[in-house]
A and B are shown apart, each in its own frame.
Chain A
Amino acid sequence: MPLALRDLQAEMASYLVSGADADILGSIVSDTIPAAARLRIHRHQLYESLATALAGTFSTVQQLVGEAFFHAMARAFVAQTLPAQPVLSEYGEGFPAFIDAYDPARGLPYLADVARLDWALNLAFHSPMGERLTAADLSTIPGEQLSSTKVGLAPGTCVIHSTYPLDRIWSASQPGASMATVDLSEAGIRLLVFRRPDDAVFIALTEVEAVFVAGLAARMSLEDAALAAFADDAGFDLSVTFRRLLDLGVFVALQQ
């Protein structure tokens, strides 16, 4: 009695993931090419295509560890976590935490944070561009209303905190550069990740700038976010920071 289709699909999915001997092989025609060799093509496709998708999303991680190491790590992740749906740019959210616990990578303690940066860049890249706030827009707001105005961060904008100098590590991952130039004992960093029209990028923020941005992200008014920043560091320069963020285009246009 052949398996009901639902059971056959479940068994085949399990076999493709695990490769463990299974009754499913008995459902496949074996001739000059045995069933296991035929199914091996699909096992290969499953692992290779998903590892390749992860390499696209976590390109900085791959640059740092090389293709072979990345591939082994990605395959181990695939074996543990398959996508829940077919949009592969949304696959890999759990990869940074997986790297944290991945024993062969324990000599690279910053690697999971690099993966978090890659994931944040991926999320920003796949966020809507929409209209961004400009200096000209701001000039339409009466002076006395400016401090109570809430400016929103553009979709996909976020701050990545790391105890490692992630920006220098990222630069070292680029072609021709080397990790030898990075001093891992350098202070940690906060990176503002955001989408631009054609790509997603990051810039380094000072600690107090990160406090200000966190306030805006929590939907505080400009005044309250600035007060929070002043409380953190009395030297906070609101106009310089605000102008810098405005010029980067990280604020959404005001609602009409």
Chain B
Amino acid sequence: MVSVAGIGLRAPHLAAVVRDRPETAFLEIHAENYLTPSPALEAVERLRADYAFSVHAVGLSLGSTEGLDNAHLRRIAALVDRLQPTLVSDHLAWSISQGRYLNDLLPLPYTEEAIDVVVRNVDQLQEALGRRIAVENPSCYFSFAHATLSEPTFLSEVVRRSGCGLLLDANNLFVTAQNLRLDPRAWLDGLPVDAVMEYHLAGHAVNDADGEPILIDDHASRVSAPVWSLFGELVERFGPTPTLIEWDADIPPLEVLLDEAASADRLVAEREASAARAA
């Protein structure tokens, strides 16, 4: 069975990964945690000999009108140069305004004006890194009244104009669809098949918002059944591609992440087998 599933490498697991070298398709790190020297960065540099890496940025703020922070961009480029990861990605979101970093992934109004901003920033990022990056669909808790485009239309247009790839997060899609009352399967229609570079899987929580349930993308539990089902749909439509298990809060033992990764691999293998039978 070909493994496509990797895990997010987080501080509580670093020592165990260094010691046990578990089998996994790749390791993912959050770029912003590795931009300064540290024992963790040195450990990752040593792990680089044995693992493929995915560098996932959370703070480039691809949707900021003020453009990318050049100092931050240079540090990201230096990390990418050192680790030579298989994949580099960030989100369709913004987190910086007037030089203030909000440490959150805020959604954009899906308008022509915002497409221009994102495409300009993605162009600058891809030029600085000398490679194609993947842009991830965000978890949305609200939408803008003046949006003129759907999220998938917006993403497709960013891909078309910048040549970037897509990182499809099945959990984010599920969360957004529930919170904004969308059909997640219809959301997938019309996305450029060739652009999909990576999938993300994670858990979410259900909170109360003034008496109504709202889903929170908290990366603090196992992948839920409806998200597994949506992941199956992604694999069917866009084929297997590197798939990340993300877990960022209430982090369980490493074995739990590896078990989730094995589930993703099994699902992909089953889909492939049934596709082969059908052919």
A residues lining the B interface (CB < 8 Å): 2, 4-6, 8-10, 12-13, 16-17, 26-29, 31-35, 37-42, 45-46, 49-50, 53, 82-90, 125-129, 197-199
Contacts and interface: CB of A to CB of B under 8 A. Distances in A.
Given A34-B210, A37-B209, A40-B209, A86 B101 contact: yes
B143 A28 contact: yes
Interface of B: 32-33, 35-39, 42, 58-61, 64-66, 69, 71-72, 75, 94-104, 106, 108-109, 111, 113-114, 117, 141-146, 179-181, 207, 209-210, 212, 214, 216
B102 A41 contact: no
In the A-B complex, list the 3 residue pairs whose CB atoms are closest, starting with the nearest: A86-B59, A2-B146, A38-B142
Given A5-B109, A29-B145, A85 B71 contact: yes
A12 B106 CA distance: 9
Given A37-B209, A39-B142, A85-B71, A9 B214 contact: no
B97 A129 contact: no
Contact of A197 (B39, B103, B145): B39
Given A27-B145, A197-B39, A83 B113 contact: no
Which residue among A26, A27, A34 has the maximum number of chain B CB atoms within 10 Å of its CB?
A: A27
A35 to B, nearest CB: 7
Contacts of B180: 29
A188 to B, nearest CB: 30
A17 to B, nearest CB: 8
A131 B144 CA distance: 54
Contacts of B97: 9-10, 12-13
Contact of B72 (A17, A37, A86, A126): A86
B279 to A, nearest CB: 44
Given A5-B113, A198-B39, A41 B214 contact: yes
Contacts of B181: 31
A53 B103 contact: yes
A46 B104 contact: yes
